[in-house]
Amino acid sequence: MYLYVKSLHIIFIVSWFAGLFYMPRLFVYHTEANDRPETERRVLFGQFVKMEGLLFRAIMVPALWLTLITGTTLLYLMPEWLSQGWMQIKLGFVAGLVGYHLYTRKLLYELKAEQFRFSSLQLRLWNEVATIFLFAIVFLVILKSTVQWLWGVGGLLVFAVLIMSAVRLAKRAREKRDIE
């Protein structure tokens, strides 16, 4: 039973992360559509609202709940994990990831209401937050050891800085290409 539930848990995590990765990317394109002529902007706005809503309702929400249900089932099957430090830290990251999911929903509703608070660069950076959560959770689950976890956190921080720098460099390259 454990291996079946674990397999399903991994499948649902992958599905959830697919949505968590793709939604902010849609937000970037949705925001950048504001720079288009009015007729084109209106068409793009309608299309992005439809795509974002469908992605959220049909993929992200069910995958979130199925991930949480299978994860809870795994804890029921392996209750000794709850007393282990790595699991407690992992559950903290999972809570953070659920918060990220909920804030992404807030952004979805704001964009649908044509409230564009964030630039496309800020949304590109937001897009990388899910990647940081993914790295933190995977390394924590695989390594489990405190010493290895500390190395993992250090690596995660370096990774986060590299990702944020890469996003900024890509933006500069796009801007330079657009000027030429």
Of the ranges 21-30, 65-74, 81-90, 169-178, which one carries the lowest mean pLDDT score? 169-178
So where are the chain's domains?
2-179
Q: Dihedral sign, CA of 141, 144, 146, 150?
A: negative
Cβ burial 120-146 (10 Å sphere, 16+ → b, else e): beebbbbbbbbebbbbbbebbeeebee
**91 with 26: CB under 8 angstroms?**
no
pLDDT (tens digit per residue) in 108-125: 999 999 999 999 888 988
pLDDT (tens digit per residue) in 53-67: 999 999 999 999 999
Residue 74 backbone phi and psi in degrees, to 5: -60, -40
**Closest residue by Cα to residue 138 from 70, 78, 89:** 89
Q: Measuring CA to CA, how many Å separate 113 from each of 46, 52, 110?
A: 11, 13, 5
pTM: 0.82
pLDDT of residue 18: 97
Residue 138 backbone phi and psi in degrees, to 5: -65, -45
The 3-state DSSP class for residue 84 equals coil
**Closest residue by Cα to residue 20 from 114, 103, 88:** 103
The 3-state DSSP class for residue 144 equals coil
Is 70 exceeded by the pLDDT of residue 155?
Answer: yes
Residue 98 half-sphere exposure toward CB, CA atoms < 13 A: 12
Query: pLDDT band for position 47 (50/70/90)?
Result: very high
Is 60 exceeded by the pLDDT of residue 146?
Answer: no
Query: pLDDT band for position 6 (50/70/90)?
Result: very high
Residue 9 assigned ligand-binding role:
yes
Is 90 exceeded by the pLDDT of residue 79?
Answer: yes
Q: Quote the DSSP letter at residue 114.
A: T
The mean pLDDT of 157-165, rounded to a whole number, is 80
Question: Average per-residue pLDDT in the chain?
Answer: 90
